Amino acid sequence: MDVVNLKNPELYINRELSLLEFNRRVIDQAKDEEVPLLERLRFLCIASTNLDEYFEIRVAGIRQQVKYGSTQWGPDNIAPQELLGRISSLAHSLVEEQYRVLNEVVQPALVRERIRVLRRSEWTPGTARWVRNYFNQNVLPVLSPIGLDPAHPFPRVLNKNLYFIVSLDGKDAFGRETRLAIVQAPRSLPRVVHVPAVQGGGPHDFVLLSAIIHAHVGDLFPGMKATGCYQFKVTRDSDLLVDDEEVDDLLRALQGELPSRRFSDAVRLEVADNCPDDLSQFLLQKFGLENRDLYKVNGPVNLNRLLAIYELVKRPELFYPPFTPDLPPRLQKEENIFDVLRNGDILLHHPFQSFAPVIDFLRTAAADPDVLSIKQTLYRTGNDSAIVDPLKDAARAGKEVTVVVELRARFDEEQNIELANELQEAGAHVVYGVVGYKTHAKMILVVRREGRRLRRYAHLGTGNYHTRTTRQYTDYSLLTCDKAMVEDVNRMFHQLTGLGRAGRLKKLLQSPFTFYKGILGNIETEMQNALSGRDARIIAKMNALVDADIIQALYRASQAGVKIDLIIRGICCLRPGIRGVSENIQVRSIVGRFLEHSRVFYFLNGGEELLFCSSADWMPRNLHHRVEACFPIDEKRPREQIIEFGLKNYLADNTQAWVLQGDGGYRRLRAGSHKPRSAQRALLEHYCNFYQ
């Protein structure tokens, strides 16, 4: 067999382009007639939010590389300047498709259900009168139009806020000939306004704030004529530039940096598609952008704000049916959670199984007089009192409470700063992890006095301690008092809060130390087994596969004959199906009702199966620049449960699965003559008696 250069750039898909392809799969959900109508609208809004964040972080980072002449290209060897052009081309096609689906698919379907977003041409005289009254009472008093002249330079435009550029004719009260003005849509006002049925004609009629302002923008310029009014929105670089090795107090540094996020460098300009070219060029010039950064859209520039309709319309038949998460039989009895765990581990598969036992674990620990200490990592919690209140209660009760709060959880920095302050005020010890490494591991450790001894209990998870996302994301939780496992968790906490070495871990794999080597070692074992004629198998489920070394190891394993199935929701830089390299690798992405978020790694290991769950994806940042925990599933029943329902079930999906092709595109699977199977639906049926 010819020797293949596994570092050949043609064997790698660019991570940024792969991430954009994920948004294509999200948009496709909005076209799927099997998805309830208002959920289809929600998928469109999710895609819009995803694109905002993509430009704020990913595109902004590439622009920085171009600005400073970076030569650190990825394994695909695409230069940053070329990459910006390819991103622009693909993103423009995605945005065009997004608005086409909105205008030609979703909105007509909403109209058929008597849910209407009324254009100004559709307003009845009664609607127009109601809108004018709403404008005069609620909008006009808080608008501050800014005419552009030497005394009124172009204003600072907030990140992702809705604005209007208005062309004017005539003179103002001081005799000035102002040709242009900028009007900001107040952030305090709803972007979607419900019109009373007696005025609009239907039970669910809405007008957009943009339409209300547009209809009455002339009132802002008495004595002048508004000859044009056009929406625009600017997306800015939102990555916080804090060198945590150069600051004495990370919390204060972040507090000082957060306000600048609103006015950092622009990376994208969105305008209404009827905006004249001269005004579009004027705006591009003001924001220092190029033509490729301009996106003309046939609809609201802040499309994600249509999510308000999803929240305002109370039509159960247009949503996914509600379900009641399962509770494992061992937890259905009125027993103390610690008594249950002494008889064996508890594995939970969220959202199909309830997150309540994790909250109960914390609450019980906080209230139990025999519990001496609680330690927990917090990455994203939102305003989640169910998680935070037990920690504060425990601290106030005199227990030793230590919380590792990751202040640099992107877009949650402000909430995490508030959370850290609340916990400190309650008497908890709060630390911010390790300088230079984000703490992404999801762990709780409880120390309890039982007779003459102390016993530790732990929770380890693949997802965040955020009760809202536990209803929307698929994740695993393990509750355990396994002696070696809890000792490893204790050592990891000592490592995070202290300055010494944690010592060798017995069971856990940990980034940035043993996780990377452990994964490569297990891949190597499968390759050697295949070369010696033994059965070899790898199944890995994660959010992203980016690391070039792991991809090369998978290529070598494939060449040796290892059968490899990868279930990767988002970014995948590996090219499957390449002759002589990856014929034995298949990659699929599942996109459905729930966001696939769990990380599970299976190795046949010569028949002695190894199974791990983790907080980490196979990305350089998770492997080398974060504190992550990867924990084995040792007990037979939980291991079988994950293999059957968390892996094989997903490999059997033929309705919500997309298969990655060698060219980087995805093909959606269709059941055809086979029985339709959805992995998420099967899990709802199994755990929740749903659909049965």
Distance of alpha carbon 191 from alpha carbon 209, whole angstroms: 5
The structure tokens 């925990």 sit at 629
Q: Is the peptide bond before 512 cis (omega within 30 degrees of 0)?
A: yes
Cα distances (Å, whole numbers) of residue 666 to 8, 540, 570, 572, 591: 22, 18, 11, 11, 12
**Are the CB atoms for 216 and 204 separated by under 8 Å?**
no
DSSP state of 454: E
Q: What is the arrangement of strands in the sheet containing 192-195, beginning at the earlier edge strand? A: 115-117, 204-208, 192-195
SS (H, E, C) 546-612: CCHHHHHHHHHHHHHCCEEEEEECCCECECCCCCCCCCCEEEEEECCCCEECCEEEEECHHHCCEEE
Calpha distance 239→542 (Å, rounded): 24
Q: With contact defined as beta carbons under 8 Å apart, do 270 and 233 qualify?
A: yes
Beta strands 204-208; 192-195: pairing state: antiparallel
- 123: amino acid identity, one letter: W
329 to each of 335, 357, 550, 639, how far by Cα in Å? Answer: 11, 12, 39, 17
By C-alpha distance, which of 96, 100, 101 is closest to 31? Answer: 101
- CA-based nearest residue to 519, from 440, 461, 601: 601
**Helix/strand/coil for 15:** helix
Q: Reduced to 3 states, what is the DSSP secondary structure of residue 486? A: helix
Question: What long-range pairs does 309-313 form, CB within 8 A, spacing at least 24?
Answer: 309/38, 309/41, 309/110, 309/115, 309/117, 309/192, 309/204, 309/206, 310/38, 310/41, 310/42, 310/45, 312/192, 312/194, 312/204, 312/206, 313/38, 313/115, 313/204
Other CB atoms within 10 Å distance of the CB of residue 138 = 16
3-state secondary structure at position 300:
coil
Number of helices and strands (H, E) in the chain? 22, 27
β-sheet bridge partners, residue 207? 193
Residues written for the chain: 692
d(CA 347, CA 476) in angstroms, rounded, equals: 7
Task: Report the C-alpha gap between 250 and 271 in whole angstroms.
Answer: 38
Helix (H, G, I), strand (E, B) or coil at 281: helix
Bridge partner list, 444? 376, 459
Q: Is 92 a catalytic residue?
A: no
Which residue spans within 336-465 are E strands per DSSP?
A: 346-350, 371-378, 400-405, 429-431, 438-439, 442-450, 453-461
Structure-token match 């547009």, residue found: 214
- Residue by residue, DSSP assigns 202-261 as STEEEEEHHHHHHHHGGGGSTTSEEEEEEEEEEEE-------TTS-S-HHHHHHHHGGGG
How far apart (Å, rounded) are the C-alpha atoms in residues 102 and 303? 9
What is each CA distance from 73 to 1, 54, 78, 623, in whole angstroms?
30, 19, 6, 19
Q: Which of 214, 350, 440, 459 is catalytic?
A: 440
Return the active site residues: 440
